Chains A and B, each alone.
Chain A
Amino acid sequence: MTNRLFCSALIVILCFNPFSSATPTDDAIEEGILLLGNGSEPHSLDPHINSSMNGHHVIVSLIEGLIAPHPTDDSLPHPGMAYKWEHENNKVWTFHLRDAKWTNGDPVTAHDFVYSFKRILSPRLGSQYSEMLYSMKNAKEYNEGEITDFSQVGAKALDKLTLRVTLKEPVPYFYNIIKHNSWFPVHPETVEKYGVIDDPANNWIREEYVSNGPFKLKNWQMNQIIEVEKNPSYWNADQVKLNGIKFYPIVSENTEDQMFNSGALHYSYTIPTDMIPVYQERNDPTLKIEPFLGVYYYSLNTKVPPLNNPKVRHALSYAVNRNTIVRRITKGGQLPAGNFTPPGISGYEPESIASFNPKRARELITEAGFPNGEGFPKLTLLFNTLESHKAIAEAIQQMWKSILGIDVEIRNQEWKVFVNTRHEGNFEIARNGWIGDYMYPDTFLRILQSDSGQNDAQYSNPEYDRLIAESFSESDTQRRLDLLAEAEAIMLNDMPIIPIYHYVRTYRIDPRVMGWNPTPLDVRNFTNVYFE
């Protein structure tokens, strides 16, 4: 009896375990399918509504803009729907579209692009990324409802395959901005079939995802999987080596790591912080640490005393030991930040002003009237609830205590509460972070301009604003970058923010995946990915 039970149990177990050593990744390689961890479920796959990176990764596999992501260098253009383009003084850009098709067989035309720009700029759609198009003439005015005639906006289809975009001011790196999904085309007839142009709840993405990119949507189950398969009607389908991609929205870092370990993923979106040193120790070939265009910093409310005194702000910055933070706390190879804009933008060499200098910090706090921190009011350091932010806040609290002799209180808030508090300026010191949208320093520097919505520090320096504005009318490439670097130095000498570290991307990847190049924007051209 016992024997029989044992045997049946064994048979049941064997059913689940074919005793083959092939893992899902092995099988997927046979089929040419890439298995990717993708963080969390995207809220939308509509290029004009999506606001998350997770959504962006899927959308770039489905839809192609005028310019495609460059396979190896994020700062270079790569032909997409436009096979060539020219510009007059960086202000009037003309794009020549190739003969490409939507997945339903319709041709991709310049009119589709004009329709798409109109859609994202429609006030009622309420797109959170409509600002990305503001470099286009009258785009802001149309989006804010000041003008209602779209023909006044600088987007015009000269003929079926020629698109002219007129900008407000010269933007020499315009081809980098339009790689963003907010500039992507949608198929007008499909959008209209499921609602009006500016209906935020238009559900064409789930009803019938018509796209023009290297892959097409095959299967989308919320919180489970997004499957895309090779699009045979893509103009460059011959060059697409993968037969499909499966995106798994795995929220739990530990689950994702275990899935990678068990051979269920070719790529893990992230790694639990505790595991990074373990894989480093082991020299694990799957571990990758690559630069990422983002900065972790603290905003200082420049309107609140004593933080309205630049000496106090500098003293706080000099007392932060950034090396300790990246080595002991974040542990993922992050780079201590001496300035605001992350490294990696070629030709841009900002001065490194923020550094660790306890002696100078003490001098400055004394000069500001608080020798040894005496009489310094108790400030609050605010961060959103997360263990890693707390660890950094505690370390900095301790550094300020031991070096400057000042006490700060640390306080956390739930995310939605936190972002409101920060935007409203109801804080003294607040954690902050920013990820670049495109490869150019102004994607960072703009947020500290006097009129920027992201200027939580409420920083204002007319000279800073002027230099940034001036850089746009400068035609010489290097001179333009130098002006921006000059602006950044002015800002850092005022120190409205304390840069702490520059982000890196840490992930694991199956060594058999080829053509997966480091990209600081973390935007990938999946056309070039293949298996060994």
Chain B
Amino acid sequence: MLRFILIRLGQAIPILLAIYTITFFMVRAAPGGPFSQERKVAPHILEQQMEYYGFKDPLPVQFFRTLWQHITFEFPPLTSYPGLTSKDIIVDTFPVSLELGLLAMIVALAIGLPIGILAAAKKNSILDYAPMSLAMVGICLPTFVIGPLLALVFGVWLGWLNISGWFSFSDRILPASTLGLFYAAYIARLTRGGMLETLNMDYIRSARAKGAPEFKVVIVHALRGGIMPVVSFFGPALAGLISGSFVVETIFQVPGLGRHFIQAALSRDHSLILSTVLFYAALIIVANMIVDIVQILLNPKLRYQ
């Protein structure tokens, strides 16, 4: 297992390097720069700023300097937030996105898994059609529709929750639900599909033949195999969730990382774009690795491969 982890980490280095290179050159190729703005910056001031932020050096120098900054975690000041570095931003905002993402995942699993299992166990009944239709609606309705709707009902009409902000625990409910509902729908569909496949397997028939109660057959015997598609989906989904959601963070005024992801690109903040992209890439790599480990633990067949 240790060897497996080491190999995966070794593979991560060229991947990150490739992502860094592509992002670096894409950012440089994008039209418009960090100092383009409505009020035209006087040439001598532009000159000073380019000098200060190191944009006047030859491209290869900038390439390796920025790379070195990312390896040593010594980041330069940001152009969009003078006085701060990407590290400050990520350290400040990642915990928020992490919390929101994990809560959303809990919501997604708590809703998605039971619905999917129930739908598979009671295939082609009302208990299958009704929740699965709802799941379809959940997938089709984007978060920017569900979010304001929830805010309208629970914030304005009922007055139970704050519409936006990230101050008390109750402020977590609306954004986590909005983000979670979307993923719940996917998880329900994946669970149902996986479970249906497993429930037709021979060993399930054996279990039933031995007289195991239906509940035990579904939850103990079938679920372990039926949940595999969800586990594969879980990795990238988790990385996406905890690195923040621009839409949900904007609607509910959540000070997370997702907004910086988009804002950095809009303000052409080269340093922040690179750092957030690399951070997200690293998260995906780690999440995928964890998923692989979990899959190996769940499926003994994989241990020998």
Contacts and interface: CB of A to CB of B under 8 A. Distances in A.
B168 to A, nearest CB: 9
A127 B156 contact: no
Nearest to A125: B48
Nearest to B256: A223
A416 B33 contact: yes
Contacts of A418: 32
15 contacts: A43-B80, A44-B82, A125-B48, A201-B82, A201-B83, A206-B83, A221-B255, A222-B255, A224-B253, A248-B165, A249-B253, A251-B253, A264-B163, A453-B40, A454-B39
A248 B180 CA distance: 26
- 8 shortest interchain CB distances as A-B pairs: A416-B32, A201-B77, A203-B83, A223-B255, A453-B40, A224-B255, A126-B49, A417-B32
Interface in B138-154: 148, 151-152
A202 B32 CA distance: 26
Contacts of B162: 24, 262, 264
A417 B158 CA distance: 44
Interface string A115-146: 00000000111111011000000000001110
A126 B103 CA distance: 43
B250 interface: yes
Interface of B: 31-33, 36-42, 44-45, 48-49, 52, 77, 80-84, 89, 92-93, 148, 151-152, 155-156, 158-166, 170, 173, 249-255, 259, 266-268
Contact of A258 (B32, B163, B266): B163
Contacts of A143: 44-45
Contact of B52 (A126, A254, A420): A126
Nearest to A452: B40
Interface centre among B36, B152, B173, by most A CB within 10 Å? B36
Nearest to B40: A453
A193 interface: no
Contacts of A223: 93, 249, 253-255, 259
Given A126-B52, A224-B253, A252-B253, 9 more contacts: A46-B82, A202-B83, A223-B253, A248-B165, A251-B253, A255-B163, A264-B165, A417-B32, A419-B40
Interface in A1-43: 13, 16-17, 23-24, 43
A429 interface: no
A345 B253 CA distance: 38
Contacts of B38: 419, 433
A453 B259 CA distance: 32
Contacts of A125: 48
A152 to B, nearest CB: 18
A44 B77 CA distance: 13
A206 B77 CA distance: 14
Contacts of B39: 51, 128, 453-454
Interface string A408-430: 00000011111110010000000
Given A126-B48, A224-B253, A415-B266, A453 B81 contact: no
B77 A200 contact: yes
B22 to A, nearest CB: 20
A13 B253 contact: no
- Residue of B31, B83, B148 contacting most chain A CB atoms (<10 Å): B83
A259 interface: yes
A127 B84 CA distance: 17
A250 interface: yes
A205 interface: yes
Given A224-B253, A264-B163, A420 B156 contact: no
A478 interface: no
A13 B82 contact: no
A419 B77 contact: no
Contacts of A423: 36, 40
Contacts of A131: 42
Contacts, number: 146
A258 B162 CA distance: 10
Contact of B163 (A124, A202, A262): A262
Contacts of A261: 156
B84 A203 contact: yes
Interface extent on A, as a size class? 35 or more
A114 interface: no
B152 A258 contact: yes
Given A124-B48, A224-B166, A200 B152 contact: no
Contacts of A249: 253
A251 B249 CA distance: 10
Contacts of B251: 252, 254-255
Nearest to B267: A416
B113 to A, nearest CB: 19
A24 B52 CA distance: 45
B83 A205 contact: yes
A167 interface: no
B83 A123 contact: no
A210 interface: no
A251 B151 CA distance: 16
Contacts of B254: 223
A413 to B, nearest CB: 9
A145 B44 contact: yes
B266 A255 contact: no
Given A255-B151, A454-B39, A200 B156 contact: no
Contacts of A17: 158-160
Contacts of B249: 223
A16 B170 contact: yes
A224 B165 contact: yes
Contact of A262 (B49, B155, B173, B255): B155
Interface in A252-268: 252, 254-255, 258-259, 261-262, 264
A49 interface: yes
B259 A417 contact: no
A261 B259 CA distance: 25
A258 B148 contact: yes
B250 A123 contact: no
Interface string A213-246: 0000000011111000000000000000000000
Contacts of B158: 17
A282 to B, nearest CB: 16
A331 B81 CA distance: 35
B160 A419 contact: no
Given A200-B77, A203-B83, A255 B252 contact: yes
Q: Looking at A145, A259, A416, which has the most chain B CB atoms within 10 Å of its CB?
A: A416
Nearest to A256: B164
Given A51-B39, A126-B48, A203-B84, A16 B92 contact: no
B170 A254 contact: no
Contact of A44 (B44, B83, B93, B148): B83
B155 A258 contact: yes
B82 A43 contact: yes
A123 B32 contact: no
B32 A252 contact: no
Contact of B250 (A127, A206, A222, A252): A252
Nearest to B53: A200
Contact of A417 (B31, B77, B89, B161): B31
The listed residue with most A CB atoms (<10 A of its CB), out of B92, B162, B165, B268, is: B165
